[in-house]
Chain A
Amino acid sequence: MASGLHNSDIPNPVLRWIDQRMPIFTMMQKEYGSFPTPRNFNYFWNFGALAMVNLMIMIATGIFLAMHYTPHSSMAFDSVERIMRDVNFGWLLRYVHANGASMFFIVVYIHIWRGMYYGSYKAPRELLWMLGVVIFLLMMATAFMGYVLPWGQMSFWGATVITNLFSAFPLVGEWIVTLLWGGFSVDNATLNRFFSLHYLLPFVIVGVVFLHIVALHITGSNNPLGIEPKGPQDTLPFHPYYTAKDSFGLVIYFIVFAGLVFFAPNYLGHPDNYIPADPLVTPAHIVPEWYFLPFYAILRAVPDKLGGVLMMFGSILVWFVLPWLDRSPVRSMRFRPIARICFLLWTVSFLVLLWCGGKPAEEPYVTISRFAAAYYFAYFLVILPLLSRIEKPLPLPESISRAVLGGGPLPAGAAAKPMEKA
């Protein structure tokens, strides 16, 4: 478009005046109003919107907690107790923030699972998918550093163990660890920088989520059938159809969230974190937060320091190349009878790892973790590449509208288009 005022059709004169000079209302209308969205979404497609709301809740509660929190090793624990006891609604802010992190991981795990099951990572959505993996890594870093802030026993020893992971790297390992610590052990300098970064990273996440959405709105959403919409008969305007569906999902999400916060606020936490940090005494059984357990189990399954660390990081980094490991042109597992079963087994291996990660590092959990970890990697590195060649997919429906509305003749325009190969 040439320069000059934007040709706006917003009816309200004040909004139109703004829109002509800065067409944000036109953009909102295009991206969230009339945006053509596949008509066959199921509830798995709610989780991106839920993640967005969850991110905003984390930022809001976090900013208000930071008004009362003191990032000093001799005052942090007490300042958190003060938030719980003295600050008006401090208990609510803290419980919403802590359980919000758990809710965030639940939501994002389901969101990722959706992407894997329905093949949303495949062309043309590879970059969208990879931005999602970046978001997930940033979330893990943010959550880890957040858990250090209350400066309880689990904070301190979790920080010690996780930062020491980097010491496994040859040559630079020790240097990296000292750099993370700002000293020779986890101490006040570590706490200070973790607070600074814990405040920063969520805003970096906001930035990457924005890019994630930009990429989504170029390719458009995938859908449970994994076939592209062929015309207007296959889509609905985002508003009101999916604003309404997302709002309904949001209400259910809030009910679950409120249930956790008000009835089991410490269920997902660890009681040892209500003991102030003590650099001289390690708790008998240190475990990370539940959402890190699958990766922690992989770490412990490998009887070699560097090997364990590499496998642990590799278990997430492998997601980056998933679009190129799975070469099958069929996206949705609904039409891949063998891959579907293998993927559901992968889901089981993930949950088994989650369970083993919370158990002590002894038999039978170690052996179970090894089998589960082996399958976790085999799915990505062996099964998917192999199935891409040998699996015979079920026939794909002709179009979304055909599949969801049942038979009937295709509208002329759509029928004229060649049937999608994928």
Chain B
Amino acid sequence: MADSGEATASGGTPRRDFLNLVTASFAAVGVGAIAWPFINSMQPARDVLALASTDVDLAPIAVGQAVTVMWRGKPIFVRSRTAQEIEAARAVPLNDLKDPQTDQARIQRDPWLVVIGICTHLGCVPLGQKPTDPRGPYGGWFCPCHGSAYDTSGRIRQGPAPLNLAVPPYAFTSDTKIRIG
């Protein structure tokens, strides 16, 4: 096929090379266009996205108590903090923190702390929701997997986790109700 490759109409690139290039490009675009529906089909489906918000009634939660609710398949910790716990969280100087953030920046209304109950190390659910659970040296949560300790604002204080417990998007829909997501 050496002869056909040398047919240069205008002295530039051989025509065969040009045709090969155009054909290959069209095929590549086609493959990409076909690949996208396959990849996209693996993303969350519409019924999964439709379950993306959860309503929580705060009225039955007494001061010092915590509840766990599900949001997008994940545990959400909702804690009604005592005055001392809030006090402790706000007294910490920012430069003592691994992931510096003020307590005020992490809450919307006192006494409510709402965080995603997933350890930012490797995804275990930390202990500390039940009164009988160990809460670790900082009085918040303690992750038994590899020993990360969180404070009463859900911030990382000790152990391998790099970040504070994340705050999910939520809003107060009334004085005693929030909608997460």
Which residues of A approach B to under 8 Å, CB–CB?
Answer: 60, 64, 67-68, 82, 85-90, 92-93, 240, 247
Q: List 6 A-B contacts (CB under 8 A).
A: A67-B41, A86-B45, A86-B46, A92-B37, A93-B37, A240-B1
A89 to B38, CA, bound (A): 8
Residues of A within 8 A of B23 (CB): 247
Which residues of B approach A to under 8 Å, CB–CB?
Answer: 1, 23, 37-38, 40-43, 45-48
A68 to B46, CA, bound (A): 13
B47 touches A86 (CB 8 A): yes
A90 touches B1 (CB 8 A): no
Residues of B within 8 A of A67 (CB): 41-42
Residues of A within 8 A of B43 (CB): 88
A82 touches B41 (CB 8 A): no
Minimum distance in angstroms from B38 CB to a CB of chain A: 6
Minimum distance in angstroms from B6 CB to a CB of chain A: 15
9 cross-chain pairs, A with B, having the tightest CB-CB distances, nearest first = A89-B37, A86-B46, A86-B47, A86-B45, A88-B40, A87-B45, A89-B41, A88-B41, A92-B37
Minimum distance in angstroms from B28 CB to a CB of chain A: 14
Residues of A within 8 A of B46 (CB): 85-88
Residues of B within 8 A of A86 (CB): 45-48
* Secondary structure type dominating chain A contacts: helix
18 new A-B contacts at CB < 8 Å, known A89-B37, A93-B37: A60-B38, A64-B41, A67-B42, A68-B41, A86-B46, A86-B48, A87-B41, A87-B45, A87-B46, A88-B37, A88-B40, A88-B41, A88-B43, A89-B40, A90-B41, A90-B45, A92-B37, A93-B38
A82 touches B45 (CB 8 A): yes
> A82-B47, A86-B46, A86-B47 are contacts. A93–B41 as well, Cβ < 8 Å?
yes
A386 to B46, CA, bound (A): 64
Minimum distance in angstroms from B23 CB to a CB of chain A: 8
Residues of B within 8 A of A93 (CB): 37-38, 41
A88 to B40, CA, bound (A): 6
Residues of B within 8 A of A90 (CB): 41, 45
A93 to B48, CA, bound (A): 19
B1 touches A68 (CB 8 A): no
A82 to B46, CA, bound (A): 9
A85 to B47, CA, bound (A): 9
A364 to B47, CA, bound (A): 50
A93 to B38, CA, bound (A): 8
Residues of A within 8 A of B40 (CB): 88-89
Residues of B within 8 A of A64 (CB): 38, 41-42
A90 to B46, CA, bound (A): 11
A247 to B27, CA, bound (A): 10
Minimum distance in angstroms from B172 CB to a CB of chain A: 30
A93 to B45, CA, bound (A): 14
> Considering only CB atoms, which chain A residue lies closest to B50 in the complex?
A86
A87 to B43, CA, bound (A): 8
Residues of A within 8 A of B1 (CB): 240
Residue among B38, B40, B41, B48 having the largest count of chain A Cβ atoms under 10 Å: B41
A240 to B5, CA, bound (A): 12
Residues of A within 8 A of B42 (CB): 64, 67
Minimum distance in angstroms from B48 CB to a CB of chain A: 8
Residues of A within 8 A of B45 (CB): 68, 82, 86-88, 90
Minimum distance in angstroms from B35 CB to a CB of chain A: 10
> Considering only CB atoms, which chain A residue lies closest to B36 in the complex?
A89
A156 to B132, CA, bound (A): 54
Minimum distance in angstroms from B1 CB to a CB of chain A: 7
> Considering only CB atoms, which chain B residue lies closest to A240 in the complex?
B1
Residue among A60, A64, A88, A89 having the largest count of chain B Cβ atoms under 10 Å: A88
A89 to B48, CA, bound (A): 15
> Considering only CB atoms, which chain B residue lies closest to A82 in the complex?
B47
A89 to B42, CA, bound (A): 10
Minimum distance in angstroms from A85 CB to a CB of chain B: 7
A85 to B43, CA, bound (A): 14
Minimum distance in angstroms from B52 CB to a CB of chain A: 13
A90 to B37, CA, bound (A): 8
Minimum distance in angstroms from A413 CB to a CB of chain B: 23
Residues of B within 8 A of A88 (CB): 37, 40-41, 43, 45-46
A276 to B48, CA, bound (A): 23
